[in-house]
Structure 1
Amino acid sequence: MASVLITGASKGIGRAIAMELAHRGHRVIATARRPETLAGLPVEQRLRLDVTDQDSVDQAIKDAGEIDVLVSNAGATVRAPLETVPLADVEQLYQLNTLGALRVAQGVLPAMRERGSGRLIFVSSVQGRLVLPITGPYAASKWALEAIAETLAIETGHFGIKVSIVQPGAVSTNGAKQAQAIFGEDSPYAPLYEQLAALRGEAITPEEVAAVVADTIEEPAPALRVPAGAPAERSLKARKEAPESEPFLLAGIDW
């Protein structure tokens, strides 16, 4: 069984991953910015880890001991049109979703490389390969994350390290419901925002995503990109088959 460190394990997908891996007998190190939110998880360690804080990352990796697998899950989203989204909010998303993931990967890679084995699992999204209106900042952070992950797969594969990107579509967590919506008064983009729920499509459960992550960890030769669930598979297939000469949208919009 593997020793697995999970970021963003306090709720939603991260918590489900911790539960699934613990159930399968893995040694789980669950982390979150507020470790008290990890109470009730049947894991070996519960540690404070803020992916945007280098000192926090260094201390958590030190306290965790040997790490066979990193599950990089911490993330957030906002709802806003690109014309008006405050750039500070976009920067914050990149710090969490993109640079935060790289920061933790940099922390665990030296030991993995010296040992000649290890796994990096990045929880991305179908929006790492396609876009939806009003969630452009989130998609941009995930496209960047996937570029980082694919580059790491090339650079570290020589050292016995396997990299996978898990790509769910809509997931039935509170994340989307609680996402900050940033719109000015009488925004001309409000009609798009009202259609967003329908555009996101069919949702799967956090437990379904967790099972895909666990299966990927236990797969001897995992794929680089792993769609999580049938809706994600359909979305990514449609994106792959669509022409690159024009913007792609999964469903029509009243615009």
Structure 2
Amino acid sequence: MSKVVLITGGSSGIGKSVGEFLTSKGFIVYGTSRNPQNIKNHPFKLVALDVRNVETIEAAISEVIKNEGKLDVLVNNAGMGITGPVEETPTDEMRNVFETNFFGAIEVMKAVLPTMRAQKSGLIINVTSIAGYMGLPFRGIYSATKGALELVTEALRMEVKNFGIKVTNVAPGDFATNIASGRYHTPVFETSPYKKIYQSNLDLMDSHVDSGSDPIQMAEAIYKVINNSNPKVHYKVGDFMQKFSIVLKRILPDKVYEKLLMNHYKL
């Protein structure tokens, strides 16, 4: 029987690419969107789900299980970006991103676990970020949300292994998606002491996204993970230097690595 896959944030970007690719490989794919009724001619089914609303999470998962009788794979992909100096970023906006990227992902996992436990099988793939392995200037809050999800995944993986459930992280680097349009940008204030350097870093971040890799690489990576009977704890998907930056952080003294980042971001 075809595996049933649920992808949060499946209406665009990485989620859409993954869903389209898995559909072409014979999987039964459901994506989620807060407003699926507004999306026409989508390449796979969409159900309504807002990761910040537990009722919608439960309703969406119930709909998938009612239709298919099972749920084999969860791709926890829904997320949002945030930029800004820590000092000037509104705390409410920080909380909002944590609610989406961290607590929202946890709520979806909590909702699928009873079904997967009853099946004695299941796979949860959390889409994190290479940015979650390091504190990036003007992206510190985003890095924190993804780093926190990486660590929770490590813990959950051990907690549910005896139930036949597998959990893993897939951390993308920069991909050519529309993430920048949905990102919260702390304004560049005229009187800000960070004005010049923050603006130049915003321009740099946007150029990285615009020139990013094709999201099909993430789709292919997730397809391989699904077909792996014993997936690793962590996967990284991106260009060589993005992945190598994680290796450098492990082997270089902290201040040397910090200096490399500061040079890269012209700080």
Task: Indicate whether the TM-score tops 0.5.
Answer: yes
Between the aligned partners of 2:32 and 2:253, the Cα distance in structure 1 is 41
Q: Please list, as runs of the form range in 1=range in 2, the aligned pairs for 1:75-224 lying within 5 A after superposition.
A: 75-183=79-187, 184-193=189-198, 194-198=200-204, 203-224=212-233
- The TM-score normalised by the length of structure 1 is 0.92
Paired residues of 1:74 and 1:97 also in contact (CA < 8 A): yes
Cα deviation, residue 251, structure 1: 6.0
Work out whether 1:240 is the aligned partner of 2:245. no
Between the aligned partners of 2:86 and 2:179, the Cα distance in structure 1 is 20
- The TM-score normalised by the length of structure 2 is 0.88
* 1:197-249 Cα distance to aligned partner (Å, 9 max, x none): 54785621222112111211111211111111333422222222222467635
Between the aligned partners of 2:219 and 2:7, the Cα distance in structure 1 is 11
Give the match for residue 69 of structure 1: 73
| Greater mean alpha carbon deviation, residues 191-200 or residues 163-172 | 191-200
Paired residues of 2:58 and 2:111 also in contact (CA < 8 A): yes
- Number of residue-to-residue matches in the alignment: 254
- Taking only the aligned residue pairs, the percentage that are identical comes to 33
* 1:65-123 Cα distance to aligned partner (Å, 9 max, x none): 11100000000011110011110000000100000000000000011112211000000
Paired residues of 2:81 and 2:182 also in contact (CA < 8 A): no
Between the aligned partners of 1:251 and 1:37, the Cα distance in structure 2 is 42
Cα deviation, residue 178, structure 1: 4.6
Q: 1:131 to 1:92 in 2, by over 3 A?
A: same
Q: Which has the higher helix share?
A: 2
Between the aligned partners of 1:230 and 1:247, the Cα distance in structure 2 is 19
Q: 5+ residue gaps in structure 1?
A: none
* 1:2-61 Cα distance to aligned partner (Å, 9 max, x none): 110000011111111110110111010111111135432332x32101110011001001
Between the aligned partners of 1:209 and 1:241, the Cα distance in structure 2 is 27
Paired residues of 2:11 and 2:46 also in contact (CA < 8 A): no
| Greater mean alpha carbon deviation, residues 144-153 or residues 227-236 | 227-236
